Amino acid sequence: MSTIHANSATSASPETLPEENSVVWSIFDAMPAWGVSLLVHIGIIIIVAMISLPEIVLPEFNLTSTVEMEEIAQVEYVLDTEPSESLGTKSDLNIASPSAAVAQNRGLDNHREEIQQIESSVVNPKIQLNETVSTPSEAEMLENIDLTGTTEHAGGTDGAVDRITLEIANSLRQRKTLPVWLMDESISLESRREKIIERFENVYRQLGLMDDIDTKDALKTGIVGYGKDVHVLLDEPSSDIAELSKAIKTIKSDTSGVENVFAGINQAMKVYGPVRKKMRANMILIIVTDERGDDFGENYTVLEEVVKRLSRDGVRVFCIGNTSPFGRQKGFVHVKWKGEDGTDYEDDIGDADQGPESPLPEGLQLPFWTADSQGLERMSSGYGPYTLSRLCAETGGIFFVADDTSRKQWDPQIMRQYAPDYRPGAEYRRQLQGNLAKQSLIAAAQLAVTEPVPIPQRTFQANNDNVLREQITEAQKPLAVLDYFLERVHTALEAGEKHRDKLDSDRWRASYDLAMGRVLAMRVRAFGYNAVLAEMKSNPKRFEKADSNQWKLEPSEAIDAGANVRRMHDKALEYLHRVINEHPGTPWEFLATMELNEPLGWEWKEGHIEITAMNGGDGRRGPQFAPEEEARRRQAQEMQRKKEASKPKI
């Protein structure tokens, strides 16, 4: 190392170097040999790194390669919503229903929130570059889009059972599986149970033919029946198809009218839960019903306990059921039954607890006075009842619609943005406290549920003035009660009107606007009705045609009930038109259109009706029928009485 100092000294003398260089060289001159060596090696490493770093950090892409680059084809990907011939027949696009985990936060528009979540995922994708992407199995590639927590219109009972088959097959490819069927024992479920029995053998034969799995040991099935009581139909789960079919056939219809579905779930977990642990299997609960269940508890406490337990244990729930009637608790089911005398009856019974689709009813149950409202009380919401839909959503299952007989169907793509709130009932009530418009709507809806709303008489016999006046007097009585009811509903809604613009979802806005528009429209009609009846009673009109003997009230543009009623009229039109313009293709828009199909005023039209001989000849008493006609009439009345008396509880 001494030669380095010598060579350095001969290359330049300190006197000839600049002052700063002389300082540097004096440091080197005083540095020991090992220090100089260290600096030299560090310098070499830095030079090498600077030469190679650009190639490592920013590799050069050779775009002039002799290998021609293939043009990337622009492929249009289309979601195939057409049904499979074997599974999920007649399936429509499904309606996503938010679970508690993804429900809209208080004070946020649910659609804007979803858009923000999508944008966040796109802008900040969490991609793990150091992991190898595994190739999906054939079964995974053939699966539908993940629909957990949704309402799916699968194409009736057959389509729903086929979709359940697919879910069981997908579970089997992961691990052993224990499906448990919970059968509603109600008499209204007889036909659906029969359909399932018809397909049951075929379903399990398909599952047994899975060529990559020995399903005899991997697939065991339990069966539970429930009504007022719970019946475990298989003490031990079985893989024997004949045994499974026989167990379902032993179900006897329960005529109590009680459906304790959550008691059935708890019993199923008690009996089959230990078997599931021993098998180390997935467990799936499949509920077959046409109602919501009766034992969900006050404020849904029992429902929440079951949701918590199943979610903790990783048990998924699927339901084959009916849609909830729009904004109502009571729906209709078609039933066949035998009377006490052996007579066969068949009819729609309108006492089924099938709704509402939300934790509390959010719409007014008001009849239509003038529009063709036949069947509107049966109008479907497009969703299952809140209790079972929430149970499916929170456990990662699906509510399959097996029966939706409403005359009006809704586009699932449109209805997706009007999904009910499936958060816990307690959370739902808390968020009501944050908006006065929501509170007022729920309060008004409760009034409409608890009090009957009359449909006024519109045709009046008028073969003389006395008959006309008597009929008008009777027609005015229920309208006095109606006016008091409508005033209270209107007052309840007005209490939240200033908070209407703060409603945080399309569903709430549509519900509030429709309720306000309809109650205002009905008040206008009621005021006008009373006014024209009072005028006719005090000063009866004269017929222009000789054979006229009847007056009819027909809708009219004329509003002759004062300035206050005209203001109500204009406000009703404003609310109803807003519903039509802002919510096309929805149940809210449909009902608003029905309300506006005819004007809100009234006018008299004369007519003629055949009147049979009357008691006393003055037309004030009921008609006298011929003996043969009277006998037929009495017979029909007696048959109807027997039918009503023998109707089963559902």
Q: Which CATH number do you get for residue 337?
A: 3.40.50.410
Determine contact, residues 104/113, Cβ cutoff 8 Å: yes
Residues 386 and 449 in one domain: no
- CA-CA-CA-CA torsion for 598, 599, 604, 610, nearest 10 degrees? 10
**How many Cβ atoms are within 10 Å of 76's Cβ, its own excluded?**
4
Taking only the tens place, the pLDDT of each residue in 543-596 is: 888 888 899 999 998 887 788 899 999 999 999 999 999 999 999 999 999 999
Helix (H, G, I), strand (E, B) or coil at 134: coil
State the pLDDT at residue 48: 58
CA distances from 345 to 340, 635, 639, 642 (A): 11, 16, 11, 10
Q: Which of 429, 362, 390 is nearest to 106 (CA)?
A: 429
Between 548 and 285, the more confident residue is: 285
Strand order in the sheet with 459-461: 459-461, 550-556, 601-607
Determine contact, residues 227/186, Cβ cutoff 8 Å: yes
pLDDT(130) > 50:
no
pLDDT(499) > 80:
yes
Radius of gyration of the chain from its Cα atoms, rounded to whole angstroms: 37
Q: What is the DSSP letter of 64?
A: T
Q: Which of 536, 525, 516, 534 is nearest to 598 (CA)?
A: 525
- What distance in Å separates the CA atoms of residue 2 and residue 29, rounded to the nearest whole number? 10
Of all residues in the chain, the percent with pLDDT exceeding 90 is: 35
Determine contact, residues 331/378, Cβ cutoff 8 Å: yes
- What distance in Å separates the CA atoms of residue 535 and residue 528, rounded to the nearest whole number? 11
Q: Is 124 exposed, middle or buried (0-12, 13-18, 19+ CB in 10 A)?
A: exposed
Residues 357 and 476 in one domain: no
Q: What is the DSSP letter of 497?
A: G
Between 595 and 31, the more confident residue is: 595
Of 4-8, 12-16, 77-81, 493-497, minimum mean pLDDT range: 77-81
Tell me which H or E stretch contains 550.
Answer: strand 550-556
Of 175-189, 221-235, 508-522, 614-628, minimum mean pLDDT range: 614-628
Tell me which H or E stretch contains 604.
Answer: strand 601-607
Residue 382: how many CA atoms within 13 Å on its side-chain side? 24
Residues 250 and 369 in one domain: yes
Determine contact, residues 317/391, Cβ cutoff 8 Å: yes
Does residue 194 form part of some domain?
yes
**Could you say which of 374, 409, 444 is where a domain stops?**
409
- What distance in Å separates the CA atoms of residue 449 and residue 247, rounded to the nearest whole number? 41
Does residue 507 form part of some domain?
yes
Which residue type is seen at 183? M
Return the bridge partners of 316, or none: 284
Of 266-275, 371-380, 455-464, minimum mean pLDDT range: 371-380
State the pLDDT at residue 20: 47
Determine contact, residues 602/555, Cβ cutoff 8 Å: yes
Residues 398 and 444 in one domain: no
State the pLDDT at residue 122: 40
- Rounded average pLDDT over 383-400: 93
For the record, the structure tokens of 348 come out as: 């729609």
Residues 453 and 381 in one domain: no
Does residue 618 form part of some domain?
no
Q: Which of 183, 398, 383, 164 is nearest to 287 (CA)?
A: 183
Residues 367 and 252 in one domain: yes
Between 420 and 626, the more confident residue is: 420
For the record, the structure tokens of 373 come out as: 């409202």
State the pLDDT at residue 648: 72
What's the whole-model pTM score? 0.72
Residue spans of alpha helices (H) in 539-586: 563-582
Return the bridge partners of 400, or none: 152, 320
- Rounded average pLDDT over 9-31: 48
Which residue type is seen at 536? M
Q: Which of 459, 454, 460 is nearest to 478 (CA)?
A: 454
Does residue 645 form part of some domain?
no
Helix (H, G, I), strand (E, B) or coil at 254: strand
Does residue 646 form part of some domain?
no
Greatest CA span in the chain, whole angstroms? 151
Q: What is the DSSP string of 375-399?
A: TGGG-B-SS--HHHHHHHHHHT-EE
- Rounded average pLDDT over 421-439: 90
Determine contact, residues 521/600, Cβ cutoff 8 Å: yes
State the pLDDT at residue 355: 83
Q: What is the DSSP string of 319-346?
A: EEEEPPBTT-SEEEEEEEEE-TTS-EEE
Of all residues in the chain, the percent with pLDDT exceeding 70 is: 72
State the pLDDT at residue 56: 41
Residues 342 and 441 in one domain: no
- What distance in Å separates the CA atoms of residue 620 and residue 627, rounded to the nearest whole number? 21
Highest mean pLDDT among 34-48, 64-78, 339-353: 339-353
State the pLDDT at residue 217: 79
Does residue 643 form part of some domain?
no
**How many Cβ atoms are within 10 Å of 617's Cβ, its own excluded?**
8
Determine contact, residues 357/383, Cβ cutoff 8 Å: yes
State the pLDDT at residue 117: 46
Q: Is 312 exposed, middle or buried (0-12, 13-18, 19+ CB in 10 A)?
A: exposed
State the pLDDT at residue 213: 58
pLDDT(98) > 50:
no
Helices then strands, counting H and E runs in the chain, come out as 20, 13
Residue spans of alpha helices (H) in 451-505: 465-494
Tell me which H or E stretch contains 426.
Answer: helix 425-432
pLDDT(54) > 70:
no
State the pLDDT at residue 528: 92
pLDDT(351) > 90:
no
- Rounded average pLDDT over 104-114: 42
| Start-to-end CA span in the chain (Å) | 106
State the pLDDT at residue 377: 73
Q: Is 56 exposed, middle or buried (0-12, 13-18, 19+ CB in 10 A)?
A: exposed
Number of compact structural domains in the chain: 3
Residues 284 and 387 in one domain: yes
Residues 317 and 385 in one domain: yes
Residues 396 and 479 in one domain: no
- What distance in Å separates the CA atoms of residue 56 and residue 110, rounded to the nearest whole number? 46
Domain range spanning residue 32?
A: 2-54
Does residue 616 form part of some domain?
no
CA distances from 518 to 366, 415, 574, 577 (A): 8, 22, 11, 11
For the record, the structure tokens of 23 come out as: 């300082």
Residues 394 and 461 in one domain: no
Highest mean pLDDT among 4-18, 108-122, 206-220, 481-495: 481-495
For the record, the structure tokens of 349 come out as: 């019974």
- Rounded average pLDDT over 629-648: 75
Mean pLDDT of the chain: 77
pLDDT(233) > 50:
yes
- Rounded average pLDDT over 193-211: 75
Strands 150-153 and 95-96: antiparallel
- What distance in Å separates the CA atoms of residue 424 and residue 390, rounded to the nearest whole number? 8
Does residue 162 form part of some domain?
yes
Tell me which H or E stretch contains 178.
Answer: strand 177-184
SS3 of 109-122: CHHHHHHHHHHHHH
- What distance in Å separates the CA atoms of residue 631 and residue 638, rounded to the nearest whole number? 11
Residues 181 and 291 in one domain: yes
State the pLDDT at residue 396: 93
Q: How many residues does the chain have?
A: 650
- What distance in Å separates the CA atoms of residue 585 and residue 382, rounded to the nearest whole number? 12
Q: What is the DSSP letter of 6?
A: H
